[in-house]
């Protein structure tokens, strides 16, 4: 990673931290705060990591926030994402050439594929220092503990290399890796991943599975590990295309895997497919701790590294974080590939506060009735897009998908309950709101066309509550709406108390009311009459726990709402009204899973960093819900 450090230094994108800081919480917390600065802050090189509990000073620096800005991400990719996307699009154009000149042009275009073929080399500086047998000790590496309730230290930037039983298919993935002991790592590869498919091949054959973890080297290896490539395509092929050079690989010492020769650290081993160990909890990129689940275990047979290695790591938790910029590169690069299975798709955006798989915005050129819903189903059936929980589709006349204020009004001016599609399917294994593990509700909204009087009349006839179709929305102030909601709830004796209301999009046809609630009454959405009486002033209502939310912070409200709902359970369509229960869920028959804790920084660690001279503003702590539940009804009222 020395070349990356030099590159960042040349572009003033690196901050060196010489203060001794603990691998337990201190280093991760400081990196977490850095990436939340405007523009993503700087990359951080911690030169003096320590483990105070064990009295250890490491001579291996920790490198963090590597992808944490648009500029650094482009420096790593060596070109703008649009250029990479254009390359992929040109390769996908498989029309037969017409004429000799067109044939030469096609040959030139496809000649770049020569860079996808890895080249095997015999020696690597990453194998200069070797630990085997009893000398294997993961605790010699500065592996971080990011969050207070993490069950152990976790490797978070590990390139996980696997191959099929016959060795013909290879995969590079990016998964968290829990330290179980000096020579064992938990492998959190999820049920939908290629590594898991390989695992089942070895398990069926009764054989141990070779796995190698690489750390460092070119950061683009790490990005390629999370790239949503079609099944069976080796991620290092993408690396070769982008860099226009063949990946140079070296064979591992104790298993048949090959990894890039320029990495810093290599961890080799085998997985006994008959053994599983509990993994977690871990504060993941959703901003919540994932539950304890059994996962495979890597039994390490060798650890090797460069004479002066650098240990890369990242922090995941509440957005915005480093994955914002990694996700942006992924989103832009893979638009052409997604368009091959979604005819009419013009663009898409996965906001980082929707933690990518929880919310997608898409712009399409609709050509026939139901076109938007057709693409919704296509998304929900394609690769990693199948994990998306909520999809909102707009027309080609919509604002830019990153122009969120104007886009919101565009959507609200075209909102109709008739255009809501509620479905179900696979979810990300990290999703905590679904009643079942990795399976739950999905919601799509078609906002591609305006609601003119003719269209509105057609749709009103099909509403669940036609008698309300004639009622015109009468916008009222937050205070007046609060009084109206309280009166309606009091009349039905619902066991919750509404303390705050904030409306968004008041200048639009159908505003959204965010309703702050105290109490956990699960009947909140079930009493139709309560909400029907408010049809003239409330069309879209979103309920949140007032103690945990700042109702004046739309960025974090979106984060919590899309995290906390399962569309089949938590969305009610009542005539022209729709209500969403985004409160935390109690363990019950409708949600038979424990609700997880959030990833909050430890206040004592924040104070310790301040005492060491690091500036940490109270405003940042509040804006991104960093230390604790951000507000109370009283502070919101102020």
What digits encode the pLDDT tens for the residues 228-282?
A: 998 889 999 999 999 999 999 999 999 999 999 999 999 999 999 999 999 999 9
pLDDT digits (tens, 9 = 90+) for 292-332: 999 999 999 999 999 999 999 999 999 999 999 999 999 99
CATH number (domain holding residue 43): 2.30.110.10
Q: Does one domain contain both 96 and 156? A: yes
Query: What gap in Å lies between CA 279 and CA 281, rounded to an integer?
Result: 7
What is the rounded distance in angstroms from the CA atom of residue 498 to the CA atom of residue 515?
7
Residue 631 has pLDDT above 50, yes or no: no
| Whether the Cβ atoms of residue 287 and residue 308 lie closer than 8 Å to each other | no
131 within domain boundaries:
yes
Whether 477 is covered by a domain: the verdict is no
Instruction: Look at residue 466 in the predicted model and tell me its pLDDT.
Output: 38
| Domain of 397, in residue numbers | 344-468
Instruction: Report the first-to-last Cα separation within the chain, whole angstroms.
Output: 49
What are the C-alpha distances in Å from 221 to residues 236, 248, 306, 460, 631?
7, 12, 17, 53, 41
- Whether 467 has a pLDDT exceeding 50, the answer reads no
Nearest-angstrom CA–CA distance, 425 and 439: 6
Cis peptide before 281 (omega within 30 of 0): yes
**Where a domain ends, among 414, 438, 468?**
468
DSSP category for residue 598: B
Is the separation of the CB atoms in 14 and 5 below 8 Å?
A: yes
Residue 57 sits at φ, ψ, to 5 deg, of -115, 120
Mean pLDDT score, 547-554? 96
Instruction: Confirm if 390 and 360 have CB atoms less than 8 A apart.
Output: yes
Strand order of the β-sheet with 49-51 is: 21-22, 49-51, 56-57
DSSP calls for 163-194 = E-TTS--EEEEE--EEEEETTEEEE---TTSH
Lowest pLDDT segment from 39-43, 215-219, 510-514, 528-532: 528-532
Strand partners, 242: none
Rg (CA), the chain: 26
Does any domain span residue 34? yes
Tell which of 312, 330, 359 closes a domain: 312
Number of structural domains (the chain) is: 2
Q: Are 107 and 235 part of one and the same domain?
A: yes
Residues 118 and 200 in one domain: yes
Q: Which of 436, 468, 500 is the last residue of a domain?
A: 468
CATH number of the domain to which 410 belongs: 3.40.1670.10
User: Among 185-194, 476-485, 614-623, which is the least confidently predicted range?
Assistant: 185-194
Residues 286 and 385 in one domain: no
pLDDT of the residue at 475? 86
What's the CA gap between 438 and 317, in Å, rounded?
Answer: 20
Rounded Cα–Cα distance for residues 278 and 273 (Å):
14
Show the CA angle centred on residue 137, arms to residues 133 and 138, nearest 5°. Answer: 135
94 with 162, same domain? yes
* Same domain for 92 and 184: yes
Structure tokens at 381: 């059936």
pLDDT > 90: percent of the chain: 82
DSSP H helices in 307-465: 322-333, 335-339, 371-379, 404-412, 453-460
Do the Cβ atoms of 386 and 193 come closer than 8 Å?
no
**CA-closest candidate to residue 319, choices 282, 290, 281, 354:** 354
Confidence tier at 471 by pLDDT (50, 70, 90): low
CA distance 297 to 211: 10
Residue 329 placed within a domain = no
**461, part of any domain:** yes
% of the chain exceeding 70 in pLDDT = 95
Average pLDDT (1-15) is: 97
Q: 241 with 112, same domain?
A: yes
Q: Please tell me whether residues 162 and 270 are part of one structural domain.
A: yes
Q: Read off the tokens for 168.
A: 């013909």
Per residue in 201-213, pLDDT tens?
A: 999 999 999 999 9
Q: Decide if 601 is inside a domain.
A: no
Q: Is residue 182 part of a domain?
A: yes
If you average pLDDT over residues 618-638, what whole number do you get? Answer: 66
| 284 is an active site residue | yes
The pTM assigned to this predicted structure is: 0.93
- Vertex 12: Cα angle to 9 and 17 (nearest 5): 70
For the sheet with 248-251, list strands across it: 119-121, 248-251, 258-260
| 284, 323, 347, 446: the active-site residue | 284
For 502-531, the pLDDT digits (tens) are: 999 999 999 999 999 998 877 788 877 888
Residue 498 makes CB contacts below 8 A (sequence gap 6+) with 482, 485, 486, 489, 515, 516, 517, 518
Higher pLDDT, 488 or 225: 225
Domain co-membership, 290 together with 369: no
**Positions of E strands within 272-399:** 277-279, 282-283, 289-290, 293-295, 297-305, 311-312, 345-349, 360-364, 390-394
Q: Are 275 and 381 contained in the same domain?
A: no
The reply to whether 510 falls in a domain is: no
Residue 207: the pLDDT is 97
Residues 307 and 366 in one domain: no
**417 and 304 within one domain:** no
What are the C-alpha distances in Å from 506 to residues 473, 476, 512, 544? 11, 9, 8, 19
Beta strand 62-64 with 119-121 is unpaired
The helix (H) or strand (E) run that includes residue 17 is: strand 14-17
Query: CB neighbours of 257 closer than 8 A, spacing ≥ 6?
Result: 161, 162, 163, 210, 211, 212, 251, 268
Token digits for 92?
A: 């996908």
């Amino acid at each position: 990673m020395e070349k990356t450090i030099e590159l960042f230094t040349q572009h003033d994108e690196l901050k060196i931290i010489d203060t001794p800081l603990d691998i337990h919480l201190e280093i991760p917390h400081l990196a977490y705060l850095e990436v939340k600065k405007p523009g993503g802050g700087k990359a951080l090189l911690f030169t003096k990591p320590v483990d105070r509990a064990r009295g250890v000073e490491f001579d291996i620096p920790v490198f963090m926030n590597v992808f944490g800005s648009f500029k650094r991400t482009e420096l790593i990719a060596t070109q703008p994402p649009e250029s990479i996307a254009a390359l992929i699009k040109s390769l996908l154009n498989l029309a037969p050439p017409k004429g000799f000149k067109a044939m030469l042009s096609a040959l030139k275009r496809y000649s770049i594929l020569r860079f996808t073929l890895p080249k095997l080399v015999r020696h690597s500086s990453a194998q200069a220092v070797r630990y085997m047998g009893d000398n294997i000790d993961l605790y010699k590496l500065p592996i971080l503990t990011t969050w207070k309730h993490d069950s152990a230290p976790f490797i978070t930037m590990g390139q996980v290399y696997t191959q099929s039983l016959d060795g013909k298919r290879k995969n590079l993935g990016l998964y968290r890796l829990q330290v179980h002991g000096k020579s064992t790592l938990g492998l959190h590869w999820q049920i939908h991943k290629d590594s898991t498919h390989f695992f089942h091949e070895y398990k069926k054959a009764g054989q141990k599975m070779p796995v190698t973890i690489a750390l460092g080297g070119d950061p683009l290896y790490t990005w390629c590990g999370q790239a949503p490539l079609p099944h069976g395509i080796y991620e290092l092929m993408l690396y070769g295309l982008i860099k226009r050079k063949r990946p140079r690989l070296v064979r591992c010492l104790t298993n048949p895997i090959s990894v890039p020769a320029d990495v810093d650290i290599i961890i080799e081993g085998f997985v006994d497919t008959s053994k599983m160990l509990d993994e977690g909890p871990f504060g993941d990129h959703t901003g919540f701790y994932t539950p304890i689940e059994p996962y495979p275990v890597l039994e390490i047979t060798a650890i090797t590294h460069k004479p002066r290695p650098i240990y890369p790591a990242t922090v995941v938790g509440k957005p915005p974080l480093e994955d914002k910029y990694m996700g942006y590169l992924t989103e832009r690069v893979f638009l052409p590939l997604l368009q091959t299975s979604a005819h009419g798709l013009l663009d898409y955006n996965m906001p980082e506060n929707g933690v990518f798989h929880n919310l997608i915005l898409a712009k399409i050129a609709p050509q026939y009735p139901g076109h938007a819903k057709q693409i919704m189903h296509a998304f929900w059936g394609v690769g990693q897009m199948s994990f998306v929980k909520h999809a909102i589709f707009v027309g080609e006349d919509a604002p830019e998908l990153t122009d969120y204020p104007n886009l919101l009004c565009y959507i609200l001016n075209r909102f109709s309950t008739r255009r809501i599609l509620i479905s179900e399917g696979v979810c990300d294994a990290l999703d905590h709101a679904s009643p079942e593990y990795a399976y739950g509700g999905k919601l799509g909204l078609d906002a591609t066309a305006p609601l003119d009087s003719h269209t509105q009349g057609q749709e009103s006839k099909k509403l669940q509550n036609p008698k309300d179709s004639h009622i015109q929305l009468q916008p009222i102030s937050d205070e007046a709406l609060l009084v109206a909601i309280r009166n309606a709830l009091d009349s039905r004796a619902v066991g919750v108390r509404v303390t705050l209301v904030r409306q968004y999009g008041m200048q639009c046809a159908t505003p959204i009311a965010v309703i702050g609630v105290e109490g956990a009454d699960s009947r909140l959405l079930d009493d139709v009459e309560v909400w029907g009486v408010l049809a003239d002033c409330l069309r879209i209502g979103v309920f949140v726990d007032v103690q945990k939310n700042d109702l004046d912070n739309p960025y974090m409200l979106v984060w919590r709402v899309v995290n906390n709902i399962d569309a089949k359970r938590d969305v009610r369509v009542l005539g022209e009204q729709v209500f969403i229960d985004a409160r935390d869920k109690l363990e019950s028959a409708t949600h038979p899973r424990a609700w997880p804790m959030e990833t909050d920084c430890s206040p004592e660690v924040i104070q310790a960093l301040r005492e060491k001279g690091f500036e940490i503003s109270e405003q940042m702590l509040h804006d991104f819900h960093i230390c604790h539940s951000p507000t109370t009804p009283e502070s919101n009222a102020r």
